[in-house]
Amino acid sequence: MKVAFLVNDLQLSGGVGVVVQHARRLSLLPGWDVTLVLVREDEGPSWHGYEHLPDLHVRGREEAMADRFDVAVATWWETTFTLFEIPAGRHAYFVQSLEDRFYLEDQAERLGAALTLDLPVAFITEARWIAQLLGSWRPDAPCFVVRNGIDKEVFAPLERVTPAVAGPLRVLVEGSPTVWHKRVPEAIAAVGAMREPHEVTVVSGDRPALAGVVADRVLGPLSHREMADLYAEHHVVCKLSTVEGMAGPPLEGFHRGATCVVTPVTGHDEYVEHGYNALITDWDDLTGTARSLDLLARDRKLLHYLRSNALETARAWPDWGQSSQFMAAALTAIVRLPQPGPTVAAARLSSDLRSGLEVYQQRVSERADWHRRARRFERRLEAIRTSRGVRAALKVRHSWPVRTALRPLRPIKRRIMRQPR
Amino acid sequence: MPDWQERITLQTPPAILSEHELRYRLLAPLLASSAAWADLGCGNGVAPAAVLDGRWPARTVLVDLEAEAVAQAAARLGATDTVQLHGDLTDPDVLTRVGDALRAVEGERVVSCFEVVEHLATFSPLLEWAGELARDGVATFVLSVPNDAFWAIENPFHAARWGEGAFDELRRLLPAEQTLMRQVALTGSAMVGWDDAPESHELGVQVGGGTTVASHFIAAFGPRHRDVVREAVAVPAAQLEQRRWERQRESNLAVAEARVEALRAMEAERNEWRTYIHELERELGRPLSGVDPSQPAS
């Protein structure tokens, strides 16, 4: 079986890490030959550990286009641009999240990412909620679920959780603060609003973006092994994401004896059970989140109950070996099944494009309306600014008697200028 | 401390035995009208022999990792045309032999595969093979996997972790024409007369619904997947046996722990002696006994 996984690059990210894990393990199966196709130039630190594997190759787009595969798999919405250029018996799409949600409403990528789900491909996804949605949107296309495994050698489940009966609650916040939907600043603010004694560690691959963050420790980037050690030092992972396929960090924390306080983000129900192994907090409720954390800081029996059950949940979670067996079975099934026909996909694509354009037109019209209203204010301001009295005042404002007279107002001006907009 | 009983025997606790028997009851109408039956992971054949009452096809293909278990199952079932195969179900050759043995007989064919998938180092060859036979209309399959995830059971004999999520991954790989079931545990009690003979009671029990937790997940697929029958079974709890078994286990565990402690104490004592002897050997300028001089001291 010749498989090509298309990735933008091999830079360190959770999504690429999942693809590399599958590629590595599939390449070890007898008769499997796996290629990671880089559809754009590599720019930063990369995933490694595959170089010694004889049946796992890394190729550029041009090279891959000269080859032929049994199945080519897009793994991120932008990689679908190259998917049909790769000669393959079947084309598939590994959907790790609904990636249009990564973009704000007025970003063009939002529509682009959504439209890629209309392509005539077979789907593989990592979460059941995505499979359910894809099943309802694209009943014509086969859809398989392959949940992400956990590297049980790195995130080895603890033998048992040691009760934390005293001391501050140790909270871990992880994620990139510049990715809006990860809501890392909000998580840090929620921990900061706790009343009970606590220690907070913030860890991110994007360390410079954490400048100015108030935390006991600011760390990162860390290797997986360092992360595993860090989870084991903490009681709680606080994660307030608004968009996820199936968040890995709380589950990794479970393996290392940490419970979590999380929003009911998509995919959480794959392993989070409120009041059993974690606490679920509401959207945008930083005070409520802080109170949940306070509860865990005060009620050490509850904390231990949640942590113990989190560890038990982790024990039952599949490892990468099992996950990649499902990936192998899904790819084999995709090769066996016919490729979804282009007609249904094209109809769906046209329909979604039309809806997308309507939404876009509505936004443009809304913006034009706001622009008109703003212009009205601007004209009035301009009239005031050009009036004789204001012009005279502006003229004398830099003269020394006026500056001397206004000096007592300077602190007020400074305060106004400092206020956030 | 759990007691892992992966092989169903006559000594298996009644609750587990009845659970296993109920899965074979699913097959009863299928087997009654089939020409061939393959039981993958047949074990000793205790459960089907107990519940199917001889109503199985003449061509019976019994497959297990252990040849002895297959032979026992064959003797217990006593089918007229038995094919005994022992081998690993991850091996495509073994699967091909099972398929050939089934195809050799014309008519309906049934394959049962209970509590097997979780033991396989790789289950994709079995799924692929089963899916192909079912899609081609060669055989109807009924398979089960345990819900280990719910209880977070770490069974040392299970190579994969099964639960709601994993079963969802599995069933999407099976032919779309399928019947899915949850097997759920029951608890109960009965009143019986003081000195009377054994009594029979008709039981009515409502099970299922949103919060139902499965002990096992069952999938039937293939041409006759709808013909499986759902039933419930209640058996008296063998509390006398259960108590003996639990006490025996606790007693054995206590003895084992005591032995471990004794061994630890002996090891500590020997280490003290060794240290003392090494001190003497050093004073006498002799090589240290039990120490390889070519190896660096740890």
DSSP-assigned states of every residue in B110-136: EEEEES-GGG-S--HHHHHHHHHHHHT
Q: Do B169 and A143 touch (CB under 8 A)?
A: no
Taking CB atoms and an 8 Å limit, are B149 and A322 in contact across chains? Answer: no
Q: Any chain A CB within 8 A of the CB of B9? A: no
Question: For chain B (length 298 residues), average pLDDT per consecutive 10?
Answer: 60 79 93 95 90 89 94 90 94 96 95 94 93 96 91 78 93 94 92 87 88 93 95 85 82 91 94 94 90 69
pLDDT per position as a tens digit, A116-147: 999 999 999 999 999 999 999 999 999 999 99
Mean pLDDT score, A301-325:
94
Contacts A148 to B, Cβ<8 Å: none
Provide the pLDDT confidence category of residue A209 given band limits of 50, 70 and 90. confident
Å between A146 CA and nearest CA of chain B: 6
Domain B14-188+206-235 has CATH 3.40.50.150: yes
* Alpha carbons B105 and A85: distance in angstroms, whole number: 48
Residue A313 near chain B (CB below 8 Å): yes
pLDDT at A212: 84
CA distances to B92, B121, B201, B215, B271 from B116, rounded to whole Å, are 16, 11, 34, 15, 46
The nearest CA of chain B is from the CA of A87 a distance in Å of 25
A328–B contact, CB cutoff 8 A: yes
Beta carbons of A330 and B173 less than 8 Å apart: yes
Q: Does B234 touch chain A (CB under 8 A)?
A: no
Percentage of chain A modeled with pLDDT above 70: 95
Which residues lie closer than 8 Å to B126 by C-beta, 6 or more apart?
B40, B89, B90, B95, B113, B116, B117, B120
Copy the structure tokens of residue B211: 């919060």
Helix (H, G, I), strand (E, B) or coil at B19: helix
CB-nearest to A318 from B122, B127, B166 is B166
Measured between CA atoms, the residue of chain B closest to residue A330 is: B173
CB contact under 8 A, A318 and B123: no
Q: What is the mean pLDDT of chain A?
A: 91
CB contact under 8 A, B152 and A312: yes
- For residue B160, the chain A residue with the least C-alpha distance is A322
> What residues form DSSP beta bridges with B217?
B145, B182
B199 to chain A, any CB pair closer than 8 A? The answer is: no
Sheet harboring A2-7: ordered strands across? A56-60, A33-38, A2-7, A69-74, A88-95, A122-125, A143-145
CB < 8 Å to B128, chain A: 329, 332
Contact A328 B131 (CB under 8 A): no
pLDDT-derived band at A421 (thresholds 50, 70, 90) equals: very low
One-letter amino acid at A114 equals A
Of B124, B148, B168, the CB nearest to A316: B148
Chain A residues near residue B122 by CB distance under 8 angstroms: 325
Give the residues across from A2 on adjacent strands: A33
CA dihedral B53→B54→B55→B58, nearest 10 degrees, is 170
Segment A195-199 long-range contacts (CB within 8 Å, at least 24 positions apart): A195/A290, A195/A294, A196/A168, A196/A169, A196/A293, A196/A294, A196/A297, A196/A298, A197/A167, A197/A168, A197/A169, A197/A297, A198/A168, A198/A169, A198/A170, A198/A171, A198/A293, A198/A297, A199/A168, A199/A169, A199/A170, A199/A171
HSE on the CB side for B158, CA within 13 Å?
23
Q: Is A146 on the interface with B (CB under 8 A)?
A: yes
Q: For every residue of chain A, which 3-state class applies, written as one string? A: CEEEEEECCCECCHHHHHHHHHHHHHHCCCCCEEEEEECCCCCCCECCCCCCCCCEEEEEHHHHHCCCEEEEEECCHHHHHHHCCCCEEEEEEEECCCHHHHCCCCCHHHHHHHHHHHCCCEEEECCHHHHHHHHHHCCCCCEEECCCCECCCCCCCCCCCCCCCCCCEEEEEECCCCCHHHCHHHHHHHHHCCCCCEEEEEECCCHHHHCCCCCCEEECCCCHHHHHHHHHHCCEEEECCCCCCCCCHHHHHHHCCCEEEECCCCCHHHCCCECCCEEECCCCCHHHHHHHHHHHHHCHHHHHHHHHHHHHHHHHCCEHHHHHHHHHHHHHHHHHCCCCCHHHHHHHHHHHHHHHHHHHHHHHHHHHHHHHHHHHHHHHHHHHHCCHHHHHHHHHCCCHHHHHHHHHHHHHHHHHHHCCC
Higher pLDDT, A68 or A366: A68
**Which residues touch B35 (CB under 8 Å, ≥6 apart)?**
B57, B58, B59, B105, B106, B107, B108, B109
Q: Choose among B124, B150, B163: nearest Cβ to A329.
A: B124
- CA of B164 vs chain A CAs: smallest distance (Å): 9
Q: Which residue among A147, A325, A333 sits closest to B165, beta carbon to beta carbon?
A: A147
Pairing mode of beta strands B216-221, B178-183 = antiparallel
Reduced to 3 states (helix: H, G, I; strand: E, B; else coil), residue B168 is helix
Put simply, whether A93 touches B (Cβ < 8 Å) is no
Best probe of the B interface among A95, A332, A334, A335, by most B CBs < 10 A, is: A332
Helix (H, G, I), strand (E, B) or coil at B181: strand
> What pLDDT does B3 receive?
52
A328 → closest Cβ in B124, B154, B163: B124
A318 close to B (CB below 8 A): yes
- Residues of chain B in contact with residue A305, where contact means CB-CB under 8 angstroms, are none
B126 near A CB under 8 A: no
CB contact under 8 A, A322 and B166: yes
Closest Cα in chain B, distance from residue A113 (Å)? 25
% chain A with pLDDT above 90: 72
Q: Is B149 on the interface with A (CB under 8 A)?
A: yes
Q: Phi and psi at residue A236, in whole multiples of 5°?
A: -140, 140
Two tokens at B110? 């049934």
CA separation (Å) from A152 to A121, A149, A252, A314, A321?
32, 9, 9, 10, 10
| Domain regions of chain B by residue span | 14-188+206-235, 238-288
Tell if the CB–CB gap between B172 and A332 is shorter than 8 Å: no
Range from A11-25, A93-107, B127-141 carrying the lowest mean pLDDT: A11-25
Which residues of B fall within a CB distance of 8 Å from A317? 149, 161
- Contact between B135 and B221 under an 8 Å Cβ cutoff? The reply is no
> What's the pLDDT score for residue B277?
95
Would the CB atoms of A143 and B128 count as touching at under 8 Å?
A: no
Cα dist from A266 to A50, A96, A272, whole Å = 31, 12, 11
